Amino acid sequence: MQQELRKLPSVDKVLQTDQIRQLIEDKGRYLVLDSVRHIIEQARRDITEGQSCLPLTALVERVLEDVRTSGRPTLCQVINATGVIIHTNLGRAPLSDDARTAMKLAAEGYTNLEYDLDLGRRGSRYVHAEELLRHLTGAGGGLLVNNNAGAVLLALTALARGQEVIISRGQLVEIGGGFRIPEVMAQSGVRLLEVGTTNRTRIEDYEEAISEETALLMRVHHSNFRMLGFTEQATLSELVDLARHHGLLVVEDLGSGTLLDTAPFGLAHEPTVQESVGQGADLVCFSGDKLLGGPQGGLIVGRGDLIASLRQHPLARALRVDKTTIAGMQATLLHYLREEVTDKVPVWRMISLRVEEIQQRADVLAERLKAMGAEVEVVFGLSTVGGGSLPGETLPTRLVALQPPSPNRLAHRLRTGEPAVVGRIEGGRFLLDPRTVLAGEEDELLMALERAL
């Protein structure tokens, strides 16, 4: 072993080779030096485990490969062929052309983020979303923060810190990433008081729990799961009436949240933000990057005086978003104002896509795959909305079903290609759902499939 270890070249010797010197010119000394040290240390461990020392040329090749892979961004384009429209792991809602353009323009130069162009003096970053939110929801005010968990945290911290918040046991849900509503509430400094049971909570349960320590009643929509059978939950209208009688506030967390009625698209009705505002909720919190179809953000709408107090709270600064997010959210909200959502917002374009259109896309894809020699057919399938929205709800679709020798090996090749492609495996077949493949991605998808096959 010692003899093999002595054969290991020094870091300087590797750095002096022609290939590595050229690599330093192309990639910079820091990245290359770090890679050389890493490869030599790795070779040293291999020798101690009984392997022979690699020749210098082999070590150089490993450095070249290591720099090539480590120098690439870890965040990359993925073609979503899973049929899950709002795919949490793949970045949730893809943005509209207008939203992407607005974010690009905001990033490229200066903006009037906090400057009133009319008055020629300092303005507020909050105005860019608030007027649109007020117009679209009927609320007295609106606020944009970094995500919905942040929205709930800010609302509870500003309005109920050190006081009691009453919530149904059946609404103590866990959201994505392992975050739980009770933990978010605890972080806000409120005292959580659970009422009712997991499956049944009546308005009387809230009424009996109200005390002088109670600040507000909290309602959390089951946006990422469904409870069936012997169940009951107090309605928002009942909570509002009870709260008014006792001089309390009502805060509703809609989770995903939507500004469009989902029923006309063949899905179960999802409570809209406008409905919650209309029924008298003092504040309504919801996500910007799910059914709304915008960039990641948490939106709070409700009473103007409460929104103003939230805006002045120190936590609001910690949760605020940058100019690019504001630009993307404003562009997305403008689609709703112009009533062009199903044409312009990708999430709603996919939801509203007719089966006949999907069939045509699937047939074209299948024919081109057959020309490559692939064993493929178009079959009936189901797409899901995903993203913690409309649990259990599906949309009919058509799937391109490949029958490769090893579906898992094909899936791995596609995931690790450029661009990466993610589909799903069912019944020993690799399935592609055209519903979630964006317009203009078909050629890239076919090239990726050709390489992988």
Domain boundary among 344, 360, 392: 344
Tokens 């592609």 correspond to 432
For the segment 150-159, what is each residue's pLDDT rounded down to a tens digit? Answer: 999 999 999 9
pLDDT score of 225 more than 70: no
Closest of 61, 18, 55 to residue 36, by C-alpha: 61
pLDDT score of 73 more than 90: no
Q: Does 338 share its domain with 354?
A: no
pLDDT attached to residue 27:
86
- Domain that includes residue 407, residue range: 78-88+348-452
pLDDT band at residue 390 using 50, 70 and 90 as cut-offs? confident
Domain boundary among 344, 362, 392: 344
pLDDT score of 226 more than 90: no
pLDDT attached to residue 444:
96
pLDDT attached to residue 223:
65
Question: Which amino acid belongs to residue 112?
Answer: N
Q: Does 59 share its domain with 115?
A: no
pLDDT score of 3 more than 90: no
Q: Does 112 share its domain with 184?
A: yes
Give mean pLDDT, residues 421-433: 96
Give mean pLDDT, residues 416-428: 94
pLDDT band at residue 389 using 50, 70 and 90 as cut-offs? confident
Q: Does 281 share its domain with 143?
A: yes
pTM above 0.95? no
pLDDT score of 369 more than 80: yes
**129 secondary structure, DSSP code:** H
Describe the crossing of helices 29-48 and 56-70 by its angle, rounded to 10 degrees. 130
Q: Does 355 share its domain with 412?
A: yes
pLDDT attached to residue 72:
77
Q: Does 65 share its domain with 180?
A: no
Helix %, strand %, coil % for the chain, to 5? 45, 20, 35
Q: Give the percent of the chain with pLDDT over 70.
A: 97
pLDDT score of 1 more than 90: no
Q: Domain tally for the chain? A: 3
pLDDT score of 230 more than 80: no
pLDDT band at residue 198 using 50, 70 and 90 as cut-offs? confident
Return the beta strands (E) in 257-297 as ranges: 283-287
CATH number at residue 199: 3.40.640.10
